[in-house]
Structure 1
Amino acid sequence: MLNEVQIQAIIKGTGYTIIIAIVAVIIGTVCGMLVALGRISHNRILNKISWLYVWFFRGTPLLLQLFMIYYAMPLIIKDLTGHPFPINPLMACFVAFGLNSTAYMAEFFRAGIESIDKGQLEASKALGMSYNQAMFKIIIPQSYKRLLPSVGNEFIMLIKDTSLASTVAISDLLRTTKTMSSSSGNWIYYVYAACVYLLMTSIIQFGFDKLEKKVGAYE
């Protein structure tokens, strides 16, 4: 059984896991919408930059992206400026997970927007709306319900992927239980970690299921 110190350590590690996932989802949602608009933009330069961003962050491992920000970026800045540039490991996780989530969210938003009948955009323009007005008042609001399952899945993936934070010395849930297991020689701590992960992902799934039903209640 867990003692009080171990329970507190697991709670603290779970807190790191949740904080990193929430910050990443917020960054991904806000920046993902901007990148998605760039992906569907008629501006070729903006479209190509957005495509390149999505291509890179979806095509390379998240662990590599985390290492590039936490380990490589300080070295690059030191080579350019001659001064050390240490990065806080938690901030590195926020940036890496946020940038990675942005790429996936952007594709979710793009698919959701493009799933709306183009006739609605043409009708909005016929009523005198600008492109931006039509997007933010007509098209994007209708895509919310279609995006919820994808956003929920992304949140669940981030909860699990935060285990990579342990590689940059963040005492998240997995690192905490791994330390307990290594010091005691007992495998049961991994079971505790699995139960906590399952609890968190189940709560998220339940919450998004309820939200989907509420959003679609009047359709």
Structure 2
Amino acid sequence: MTTTLDKPAAKPRKAKKSEPSVLFDAPGPRARVRNNIIAVVGTLILLAIAYVIFARLQKEDQFDGKLWDPYLEAETWTEYVFPGLVGTLYAAALGSVLAVLFGVIFGLGRLSDHRWVRIPSGAVVEFFRAIPLLILMFFVFSGPPTIATAFNREFIEITPFMAVVIGLTLYNGSVLAEVFRAGIQSIPKGQSEAAYAIGLRKNGVMRLILVPQATTAMMPAIISQLVVLLKDSALGSIIAYEELLNKGFYQMKANFGNAVPALVITAAIFILINMALGYLATWLERRSRRSRKSAAKTMGTGVGAPPAPGMSVTGQTTGEAGGVGAGGLS
């Protein structure tokens, strides 16, 4: 006769209590109910606003399929979309190159040991960072001619393209200067001290040691700022620069009355360009990681590396049984 022992019933697991946050107090029952009510009411308000906008656009026949017909014609792309895209890319490309040069020069200037270089560089960077980009474009476009006219002088004509590029360079270059400065300062001081110890001057330390490493660390931030620069080029439409927003949206809406399709196409093109830049940043970061790993492996096989298995420090074989060294042949 066999007897079976009943196993004790497993105790129900207690739910883990969430750890209290050091930033704010955990909401109690009433606070959670209040937060849920606010979330529901806010969602309903947003849905109501979206419905009002949709109904208004529907009343204006902005969702009519006929408004998309202009995009089926080649002239729409050759006269509006592609010229605007070329204008955007041209201004963004030239502005990016000049902004990077501006950032490198003034970023290194802020790290100078000479006060007569460091203080003016910091003043220039902080000045242009504090001014909105649109105001910079307006000032470059209309400021010098107005000042020259007040003094009865002639001044070169400032085109909208020049105003856009100069504004993008000054503003984004100032931001990149801070990025470069922070990236160089993030390198451990021991590396620069070791470089000084072997006789390198500051120019060599900056050029050979600090800048190459800082560039790798700064690459995501640089690409992100260049994406911002590309989007900021759309502000040029306010001073009549014919870029993508001006040609692809404003002029399309004025000629065909299709605000929603023009806005969708223009936004889609900007999104695709920014996604391409994002993929470029990811590719550069992965490539830099692979190069660092390969460099580390190469350094491990150079002078001063540990000897290979089976070899002594003098290069002789270290066999355990019956091994014949170089001295055994003498």
* Counterparts of 2:215 and 2:87, CA distance in 1: 28
Q: TM-score, normalised by structure 2?
A: 0.64
The residue aligned with 2:77 is 7
The residue aligned with 1:208 is 281
Give the secondary structure class of the aligned counterpart of 1:217.
Answer: helix
Say whether the 8 Å CA contact 2:129–2:171 is kept in structure 1: yes
Q: Which has the higher helix share?
A: 1
Give the secondary structure class of the aligned counterpart of 1:41.
Answer: coil
Structure 1 unmatched ranges of 5 or more: none
The residue aligned with 1:186 is 258
Question: Rg bigger for which structure?
Answer: 2
- The CA deviation at 1:153 is 0.6
Say whether the 8 Å CA contact 1:78–1:85 is kept in structure 2: no
Q: TM-score, normalised by structure 1?
A: 0.96
Structure 2 residue identity aligned to 1:6: T
CA deviation map 1:43-92 (0-9, x unaligned): 11211111111111111100000011001121123334522432122122
Root-mean-square deviation (Å): 1.3
Identical-pair percentage: 29
Q: 1:77 to 1:119 in 2, by over 3 A?
A: farther
- The CA deviation at 1:95 is 1.4
Give the secondary structure class of the aligned counterpart of 2:291.
Answer: coil
CA deviation map 1:141-193 (0-9, x unaligned): 01111111111111111111111111121111001121111222212101000
Say whether the 8 Å CA contact 2:144–2:155 is kept in structure 1: no
User: Quick check: 1:61 aligned with 2:136?
Assistant: no
User: Quick check: 1:157 aligned with 2:220?
Assistant: no
Query: Using CA pairs below 8 Å that are at least 6 residues apart, which structure has the higher relative contact order?
Result: 1
- The CA deviation at 1:106 is 0.4
The residue aligned with 2:246 is 175
Structure 2 unmatched ranges of 5 or more: 1-68, 293-330
Structure 2 residue identity aligned to 1:181: K
* Counterparts of 2:148 and 2:116, CA distance in 1: 28
* Counterparts of 2:174 and 2:85, CA distance in 1: 25
Say whether the 8 Å CA contact 1:75–1:84 is kept in structure 2: no
Structure 2 residue identity aligned to 1:184: F
* Counterparts of 1:144 and 1:213, CA distance in 2: 14
